[in-house]
Structure 1
Amino acid sequence: MVETFITHITPYGLDRKVFLYLPDDWQTSGKRYPVVYMFDGHNLFFDSTATYGTCWGLKEYLDAHPQAIVAAPECNHEGNRRLEEYCPYRSDWFDGINGTGKAYMGWLVREFKPWIDAHYPTLPDRLHTAIGGSSMGGLMSLYAVAAYNNVFSKAACLSPSVRLCMPALTADLQISLLRPDTRVYLSWGEHEANGQHQLAEYTDNALTVTRLLNEKGAAVYPYFQMEGRHCEADWRTQLDRCFRFLFGWE
């Protein structure tokens, strides 16, 4: 089941809708569940709320594998605010992005996660806490698993927009302290790039991030999706591969 409610994002002074997936029997099962914190909640569960009319199909996947809670605030749809919120660094792309992603992650870790843990039957420890997203959300997930590795042991980074801030991201990865049980799923698609030169750049970026994470002791699943596009319809085909790697689900 998917519930929605309104939360307040303190650093921005804004209210935001949250999409929350819960196993149907969460109130009667007596179980506690891992939590995956995700970005762009409106794109995850329902075609009717997805920006481009097609969602990840995450509800159907989790209904068949009812082993986790997913907590996913919607993004800010105003102008370039999504780019700003989901970028942890300043960037020269798109006429300049004043990245406020560090403030967003501080709110998620210090306010949003404790609220979820207090109101739902979660397993709040690091081993059972993951973060995930695509595109800008994938970039934020990479940043988060490095900057808050004491909170997140797992990250799903589908088509992360690392080219917007590759030097800053790699600098942070180089100084990060990752625990050896860290797991990162990292994907990119063949048809996301505009030509072979750009595809080579995307691939080089993904393999550079993979190498840096490996050097820190993390287990990384780098997945190159043949004919993969930068869209929810293609990300949904990776759900089983991603969750099985991160959580070891059968």
Structure 2
Amino acid sequence: MVLKHEIFIEPFGLNRLLHIYIPDDIKKGEKFPVMYMFDGHNLFFDSDATYGKSWGIKKFLDSSNTRIMIVGLECNHEGNKRLWEFSPYSFKDKYFGSVKGYGKILINWIADYLKPMIDENFPTLSERKFTGLGGSSMGGLMSVYGTAIRSDIFSMGACLSPFYEHIFKKLVEELSKAEVNPETKFYISWGRYEVHSKKQLAVESEKNLIISRILTFKGVQVFPHLMVEGGHNETSWEMENPIWMTELGLIR
């Protein structure tokens, strides 16, 4: 089932909708690993998705009998505020103008407020080893950043098509200095058809491999994936559901 629950994000002074997946047939005493994911409206149902196509996660979890919870946080749909909330760093863009980086505030709110609230009200496996972050594009960036910076809380990150434009240097600098719990796993993917030339693909691949190397040198497990037929869209990310869940140990 997918529950919809409104929550107040105190640092932003805004209400926001959560899209929470939990298996239908909960057995007595059963508890679940939890993935906290960005763009919750795009995860489960095409009718909720921004572009009319979701990741189809509910369908996959139901059909594969994968016993996990997903807590999807809907983005801010006002103007370009999604970029503000889903970027750890401020930057300027010729299309979107000045973007203020509120991402660290949001990550800390998820770790320090949202997670305890979910643990209190749902049958979760609350330990770090059962808790992860996931998302695509800006949500993929937030999953790389948040899993590394708050590895005291998150042990795994599903980082699909992370968006590095404008902020890559700052990300590299912060991750290079960060203390990351070595018992952490990252799934990082990018698609061949997210770019328009072989040169762009080489650049994008190198960025993901640089991030992968930085994290690997800290002793964590990184699973980099070039999706040969992948694009920057929900249809592609839906195809990755069984891959990232398997790599992160959610499917056994």
Higher helix share: 1
**Matching residue's letter, 1:239:** N
Partner SS state of residue 28, structure 2: coil
The whole-number CA distance in structure 2 between the counterparts of 1:4 and 1:36 is: 16
Distance across 1 between alignment mates of 2:3 and 2:28? 18
Cα offset, 1:248, TM superposition: 5.2
Aligned match of 1:202:
204
- 1:114 counterpart (110, 113, 116): 116
1:121-148 CA-partner distances (Å, limit 9, x unpaired): 1111110001000000000011111110
Residue correspondence of structure 1 range 178-217 to structure 2 within 5 A: 178-217=180-219
Q: Which residue of 2 aligns with 1:156?
A: 158
Per the alignment, residue 17 of structure 1 pairs with 17
Output the amino acid matched with 1:213: L
Instruction: Quote how far apart the aligned CAs of 1:217 are.
Output: 0.7
TM-score (norm 2): 0.96
Which residue is equivalent to 1:177?
A: 179
Shift in Å, 1:50: 0.5
Structure 2 regions of 5+ residues with no counterpart?
A: none
**Matched-pair contact (CA < 8 Å) for 1:146–1:172:** no
Structure 1 position 224, deviation (Å) = 0.3
- My pick for the range that moved more, 234-243 or 101-110, is 101-110
Instruction: Give the secondary-structure state (helix, strand or coil) at the position aligned to 1:110.
Output: helix
Residues 234-249 of structure 1 correspond to what in structure 2 (within 5 A)?
Answer: 234-247=236-249, 249=251
Which residue does the alignment assign to 1:105?
107
Distance in 2 between residues matched to 1:220 and 1:200, nearest whole Å:
19
Q: Is the 8 A contact 2:137 2:160 kept in 1?
A: yes
1:68 counterpart residue number:
68
| Runs of 4+, deviation exceeding 4 Å | none
CA distance in 1, matches of 2:148, 2:45: 30
| Cα distance between partner residues in 2 of 1:137 and 1:154 | 14
Q: Structure 2: how far apart are the matches of 1:243 and 1:65?
A: 12
Contact 1:185 1:220 in 2 (8 A): yes
Q: Is the 8 A contact 1:40 1:73 kept in 2?
A: yes
Note the C-alpha offset of 1:44: 0.2
User: 2 CA distance for matches of 1:57 and 1:178?
Assistant: 31
Cα distance between partner residues in 1 of 2:184 and 2:84: 27
CA contact (8 A) 2:53 2:235 kept: yes
Q: CA deviation at 1:196?
A: 2.2
Matching residue of 1:220: 222
CA distance in 2, matches of 1:122, 1:151: 14
* Corresponding residue of 2:44: 45
- Which residue of structure 2 aligns with residue 30 of structure 1? 29
Q: Which moved more, 1:123-132 or 1:88-97?
A: 88-97
Contact 2:245-2:251 at 8 Å conserved across structures: yes
Distance 1:247 1:8 in 2: 32
One-letter identity of the residue aligned with 2:140: G
What is the TM-score of this pair, normalised by structure 1?
0.97
Report the residue type matching 1:29 in the other structure. K
Q: 1-side partners of 2:4 and 2:14: how far apart?
A: 16
What is the one-letter code of the residue matched to 1:183? K
Cα deviations by residue, 1:81-113 (Å, 9 ceiling, x for unpaired):
000000011122332211111111121111111
Aligned residues between the structures: 249
Q: Percent identity?
A: 42
**SS in structure 2 of the partner of residue 164 of structure 1:** coil
Q: In structure 1, what is the Cα distance between the partners aligned to 2:45 and 2:4?
A: 12
Task: Give the CA RMSD over aligned residues.
Answer: 1.1
Partner of 1:138: 140
Are 1:83 and 2:118 counterparts? no
